[in-house]
Amino acid sequence: MNWHDIATASVTLFFIMDPLGNIPIFNAVLSKFDSSRRTFVVARELTIALVILLGFLFAGNSILGFLGLSQSSLNIAGGILLFIISLRMIFPKRTVAEEIEGADDPFLVPLAVPLIAGPSTIAILLLLSSSQPERLAEWSIALVLAWLGATILLVASPFLLRILGTRGSRAMERLMGMILVILATQMLLNGIRDFVHSL
């Protein structure tokens, strides 16, 4: 196994999941629950998200084949989507948490999907599984590692919010967004290069 590639993919997936940026939303949605119920809901939603992401990872080639999508189109679409997501991280809308703060016990939406198993994360997994399907075991490890990191941060989010504060969490989210802008640009350029070579 190539642990360097696994680490790179894991860090990329972790940034895309954006657990630091999701901490305020998770806390807004779960603010009315006690600590034990909150932990249960977070664990349930994150488990659902992991199952969904693993499904897309292992079914990536079948999905792309059924839809007739090429590798270059997935690269370009993933790069554009990731670029938009990263811009939202750098210039976030602060009304999101307020809009869903009064929601009932969330099931699947919005915590599992789209906050963790979002379109950008799914696009990256489809890209990994279609470009190097023989390395699905490595990509699975990378996904689980990224998911574990996000899980630890989100479970400990009340404590982290007390330490970082609102400004600290926003600063960390914007830093992750800036890194994702670079990754998105590179993905877009790779897709354009592959498309030009295929002509």
The whole-model pTM stands at: 0.82
- Res. 92: pLDDT tops 80: no
Predicted confidence at residue 151, as pLDDT, reads 95
Domain locations along the chain: 3-198
CA-to-CA distance for 49 and 18, rounded, in angstroms? Answer: 14
Looking at the predicted structure, is the pLDDT value of residue 86 above 90?
A: no
Q: Supply the Cα-derived Rg of the chain in whole angstroms.
A: 17
Q: What is the reported pLDDT for 24? A: 79
Residues 175, 178: Cα–Cα separation, whole Å: 5
- Contact between 78 and 131 under an 8 Å Cβ cutoff? The reply is no
What mean pLDDT do residues 148-171 have?
86
The amino acid present at 104, given as its one-letter code, is D
Give the max Cα distance, the chain: 58
Residues 120/16, Cβ–Cβ less than 8 Å: yes
Q: What pLDDT is recorded for position 93?
A: 66
| Contact predicate 17/150, CB 8 Å | yes
How long, in residues, is the chain?
199
CATH for 3-198, options being 1.10.1060, 1.20.1250, 1.50.10, 2.60.40: 1.20.1250
